Structure 1
Amino acid sequence: MNLVMKIGFGVALSFMTLASAVQADEFKLSNNQRIACSRGLSPGKLNTATCRSYAYVFNIKTSEYYRCQVTLALTRDNKEVINVQADGNCAKKPRIFETDSNYSFDATETEPPNTNSFFGPGGYAVWASDNNARKVRGCIIISSGLGSDISKCLDMKFD
């Protein structure tokens, strides 16, 4: 599993480097990254471990963000590693606020399929706040199970 972690960190580091190359003064990496791994036993006593991690790159001026994913699959038998595959990309998401300002952002993923993911692989929650005004917006995005995501954002009221 040590090899899996090294390769996973290498791929994640390359995504962070790529993200920082794009106008580093306006883009920030979210503070809440998660990793989930699963294991499977295939015919012939092959073990497969698949790890997936998500991170978010946020434009602090426009409130647009990118949801980035990295996946690593490792197949081995009792003696050696047979195959290692890694993949990943960042998908651009729409603005959270309509106007430019100075924003903060964080996001969190649901766990892989479980009791919280009724329609598919789960979803994620996004929180953004305006650093220049008392303004916070919370969004929940879930898979509809029909090939599209359902997104709803609400402005928070302060009592």
Structure 2
Amino acid sequence: MNLVMKIGFGVALSFMTLAQAAAADEFKLSNNQRISCSRGLSAGKLNTATCKSYAYVFNVKTSEYFRCQVTLALTRDNKEVINVQTDGGCTKKPRIFEADSNYSFDATETEPPNTNSFFGPGGYSVWASDNNALKVRGCIIISSGLGSDISKCLDMSFQ
């Protein structure tokens, strides 16, 4: 399992380097990365561990963001690692605010699927705030289970 952590760390580091190289002044990596791993037993005493991690790269000027995912699957028997596969990429998402400004952003993923999960995996929430005005928007995005995401955002009121 030590190999999984090393490869996962290397991929995460490459995402951070890529985000910094894009434009240091306009793109920021969210502070809320998560990783979840699952294990499975296959026929013939093979063990498979699959780890997924998500991160968000945010344009602080336009409020557009990218949802990035990296997956690592490791298969081994009792003596050696048989196969390691990785996959990942970033998907561009729409603006949170219509006008350009100076924004802050954070995001979090849903917990892995469990018996309390109604819609299954794939949901996340994002929060963005305008650094120049008292303006905060919270959004929840979930999978509809029908091949499309449902996204609703709400502007926060201050009392």
Whether 1:139 aligns to 2:139 is: yes
- Partners in 1 of 2:40 and 2:83 — Cα distance? 14
| Aligned counterpart, 1:128 | 128
**Structure 2 unaligned blocks of 5 or more:** none
Amino acid at match of 2:91: A
Tell me the amino acid that sits aligned with residue 150 of structure 2. Answer: I
1:107 and 1:141 map into 2 onto residues whose CA distance is 11
Q: Distance in 2 between matches of 1:141 and 1:49?
A: 27
Distance in 2, Cα, partners of 1:65 & 1:115: 31
Deviation at 1:51, TM superposition (A): 0.3
Runs of at least 4 residues off by over 3 Å: none
Once the two structures are TM-superposed, the CA of residue 117 in structure 1 deviates from its matched residue by: 3.2
The Cα of 1:87 is off from its aligned counterpart by 0.8
Cα distance, 1:22 vs structure 2 = 1.0
- TM-score, with structure 2 as normaliser: 0.97
Q: Which residue of structure 2 aligns with residue 118 of structure 1?
A: 118
Cα RMSD (Å) of the superposition? 0.9
Q: How many residues align?
A: 159
Q: Aligned residue for 1:14?
A: 14
Residue in 1 that maps onto 2:148: 148
Give yes or no for the alignment of 1:103 onto 2:103: yes
Deviation of the 1:56 alpha carbon: 0.3
Offset of 1:116 from its aligned partner?
5.1
Partner amino acid for 2:75?
T
Identity across the alignment (%)? 90
Q: For residues 102-133 of structure 1, what are the alpha-carbon distances to aligned partners after superposition, in whole Å with 9 as ceiling and x for unaligned?
A: 00000000012125531221400000000000
The aligned amino acid for 1:136 is V
TM-score (norm 1): 0.97
Question: Which amino acid is 2:71 matched to?
Answer: T
